Amino acid sequence: MSEQIAHLRTVLLEQVHADAVQDVQLAGLQPALYIHSDHLLAVCLFLRNDPAFYIDFLSDIAAVDYFPESYFEVVYQLASIPHQRQITLKVRLEHDRATNLLPELPSVSSVWRTAEWHEREAYDLMGIFFTDHPDLRRILMPDDWEGFPLRKDYQDPEIYHGIPVKD
């Protein structure tokens, strides 16, 4: 598996940008490439369009909060159905945790339409803003909800529209 990741890293550095891959994660259940946020969209387009990879399926986008550290990670689970290959991409977003200015990533919904729903969920629950998303709005929480409930430092409100929220 590590040879596959090393090869993919080399190809992305040569074909996309010399700074596209920031790091390689070999430990854990599935190796991953850490992608620089400025090159995320270009990397995804390359992986989808290059016949050697043909990543035609985005199965999941997950946002991870590393509180008390001041960063988040966004994890992309990708697959090539014809090649029977899976790839994990990660993007690390440094952020001071303020909710008035959200961490940002470019939307990959122009590459894989399924990203529209996954990105809306990451926005709604974790507060990750996806630029150029066609319809970035809350998907699970009410439109006027304040905060992002899956952040580890989130505090439930006492009352929402006159209804007690806490037990």
Residue 163 lies in a domain: no
Which candidate, 153, 158, 38, places its Cα nearest to that of 98? 153
CATH code of residue 49: 3.30.460.80
Those residues with Cβ within 8 angstroms of residue 156's Cβ, 6 or more apart along the chain or in another chain: 149, 165, 166
Q: How many whole angstroms from its chain centre is CA 145? A: 22
57 falls within a domain: yes
Query: Number of structural domains, the chain?
Result: 1
Q: How confident is the model at residue 30 (pLDDT cuts 50, 70, 90)?
A: confident
Is the preceding peptide bond at 68 cis, omega within 30 degrees of 0? Answer: yes
Distance of alpha carbon 89 from alpha carbon 81, whole angstroms: 17
Q: Give the other-Cβ count within 10 Å of 48's Cβ.
A: 18
Helices 2-15 + 40-49 axis angle, to 10: 110
Position 29 scores a pLDDT of 83
Q: Print the domain residue range for 116.
A: 2-154
Residue 60 lies in a domain: yes
**Does 13 fall in a domain?**
yes
Report the distance separating Cα 9 and Cα 70, nearest Å. Answer: 27
**pLDDT score of 136 more than 60:** yes
Backbone φ, ψ for residue 76 (5° rounding): -110, 120
Its pTM stands at: 0.94
Q: ∠ CA(82), CA(23), CA(114), 5° rounding?
A: 40
140 within a domain of the structure (yes/no): yes
Is 167 a member of any domain? no
Convert the pLDDT of each residue in 83-131 to its tens digit.
999 999 999 999 988 878 899 999 999 999 999 999 999 999 999 999 9
56 within a domain of the structure (yes/no): yes
Could you read off the pLDDT of 140-158 as tens digits, one per residue? 999 999 999 999 999 989 9
Residue bearing tokens 């090649």? 83
116 lies in some domain: yes
